[in-house]
Amino acid sequence: MEVVHTIPELRAAVARARQAGKAIGFVPTMGCLHEGHLSLIRRAREEAAFVVVSIFVNPTQFGPNEDFAKYPRTFAEDRAGCEAAGADLIFAPTAADFYPTGASTWVDVEGISAKLCGEFRPGHFRGVATVVAMLFNAAQADVAVFGRKDLQQLAVIRRMVRDLHMPVRIIAHETVREPNGVAMSSRNRYLSTEELSQATAIPAALTAAQALARSGVTDAARLQATAQAVLAAQPALKPQYCAIVDLETMAPVTSTAGRPCAIAIACHLGATRLIDNADL
Ligand code: PAF
């Protein structure tokens, strides 16, 4: 497995793979890889003969009071994980190299970006869409794999790819969970053992709403109230939102009848913000 730091090196490696007749798979990450990321890499491996993983803690998607500075950087472990999961190349640029001096171009996916997390993290999805567009341009992949855990991010990326006619197929991969059901996240390492156990109320709330939906209930207010009651029973959790949304637009719905919907939750637990979701 190769590690490169610049776009010309990345493009040269991708061109060689293409010349050898290989399709290019891509998994963008911010490092601090866990089993969830490794499953994305393995999925990319199933889809493409040459797999690129980017490791880049993107400054433009963090707000001024967020955890950019303390976001865990674990390159040695990440490198070993990528290799074991079957990646062919890691692209790990520096922010100074990746964003040209004076960069002033943004990709803003309006509407979808403003809802849910967008309300609490202004500018976050603009930073995500911009860096993913830049990474797609750099890697020129045929297929890119994203985790379902970041449901709104996935919707933003899908819309960007559609609207800008980007020649990359987006694959959504299922959320990988801790043994206690909490969705895997790089930020889980901020949680104490007690908090990790308290966080189980989040998947429990999702499961409760999902069970009700599967019993035939389509009224979004009822589904939401059921999940909220489970969250409220765990006072350590401070919910930011618990919403029943249209899967494509992320807009809140009053009924789940006749269209793909999901329940999406964001909560603070101590100093950590956790998100999770489930199909309804
Ligand atoms: O999901 C992430 O880790 C990031 O938002 C991404 C897609 C790598 C962009 O920085």
Which residues of the chain, if any, have pLDDT below 50?
none
- Ligand 1: which of 26, 60, 61, 71 to mutate, most ligand atoms within 8 Å of CB? 61
Instruction: Decide: 230 and 205 in contact? Cβ < 8 Å.
Output: yes
Question: Can you spell out the DSSP letters for 66-117?
Answer: SSTTTS---HHHHHHHHHHHT-SEEE---HHHHS-TT-------TTGGGSTH
3-state secondary structure of 268: strand
The full set of domains in the chain, from first to last, is: 2-173 (3.40.50.620), 186-275 (3.30.1300.10)
The 8 Å CB, 24+ separation contacts for 246-249 are 247/151, 247/155, 247/279, 248/155, 248/158, 249/111, 249/112, 249/155
Confidence at residue 250, expressed as pLDDT on a 0 to 100 scale: 97
Contacts of 43 (CB under 8 A, 6+ apart): 145, 171, 173
Atom of ligand 1 at shortest range from CA of 29 = 8
Q: State the distance from the centre of ligand 1 to the C-alpha of 229, rounded, in angstroms.
A: 31
- State the catalytic residues: 37
Q: What gap in Å lies between CA 34 and CA 176, rounded to an integer? A: 9
Which pLDDT value is given to residue 131? 98
What atom of ligand 1 comes closest to residue 54's alpha carbon?
8
pLDDT of residue 36: 97
- Give residue 271's pLDDT: 93
Ligand 1, atom 5, residue with closest C-alpha? 128
Mutate to test the pocket of ligand 1, among 39, 91, 117, 128 (most ligand atoms within 8 A of CB): 128
pLDDT of res. 189: 92
**Angle separating helix axes 201-214 and 220-232, nearest 10 degrees:** 150
Alpha-carbon distance 201 to 83, whole Å? 34
pLDDT value of residue 86: 97
Q: Give the model confidence (pLDDT) of 175-222 as tens digits.
A: 999 999 999 999 999 999 999 999 999 999 999 999 999 999 999 999
Distance CA 177, CA 206 (A): 13
Please tell me the distance between residue 280's alpha carbon and the centre of ligand 1 in angstroms: 25
pLDDT digits (tens, 9 = 90+) for 154-168: 999 999 999 999 999
Query: Which tokens go with 176?
Result: 């990988």
pLDDT at 269: 98
Instruction: Report the nearest-CA residue for atom 8 of ligand 1.
Output: 29
Q: Is 232 helix (H, G, I), strand (E, B) or coil?
A: helix
| Pairwise CA distance, residues 29 & 206, whole Å | 26
What's the CA gap between 183 and 177, in Å, rounded? Answer: 4
DSSP letter assigned to residue 127: H
Query: Which protein residues touch ligand 1 with a CB less than 6 Å away?
Result: 28-30, 58, 61, 128, 131-132, 150, 153
